[in-house]
Amino acid sequence: MKTKLKMIYWKGGKFWVGELVEHPEIMTQGETLEELEENMKEVYLMMTKEDGPEDRAIKNIRHPFGV
C-alpha cells in the first residue's frame, strides 16, 4: 500500500524546510526541494517505523519533567 502525504515547505535562509500536514511533528530540511522530499520520506519511515521489525515492542517511559 502506498501512502500519500502532503508536505508544507518554505525557504528558510540557505535550506528548504518542510513539515507533513498529517504529522506536523515530522520536520526536516534540504539544500534543494528534491533533497527535502527525499529527507522527508526517510524521516517519515523512521518516525512511523514502517521499515522496522514486526516483533518490536512498546514501553511507556516517564517524561523527564514529570508532565
- 59 is a domain residue: no
pLDDT of residue 10: 97
Question: CA–CA separation, 10 vs 27, rounded Å?
Answer: 12
- 11 is a domain residue: yes
How many C-beta neighbours within 10 Å does residue 40 have? 21
Q: Tell me phi and psi for residue 6, to 5 degrees.
A: -110, 135
Confidence of residue 1 (pLDDT cuts 50, 70, 90): low
Closest CA to 4 of 38, 41, 34, 29: 41
Residue 58 one-letter amino acid: I
Confidence of residue 3 (pLDDT cuts 50, 70, 90): confident
pTM of structure:
0.68
- 36 is a domain residue: yes
- 35 is a domain residue: yes
- Domain of 11 in residue numbering reads as 7-48
pLDDT of residue 36: 97
- Contact status, residue 18 vs residue 7, Cβ threshold 8 Å: yes
Domain count across the chain: 1
pLDDT digits (tens, 9 = 90+) for 15-56: 999 999 999 999 999 999 999 999 999 999 888 875 566 777
- 19 is a domain residue: yes
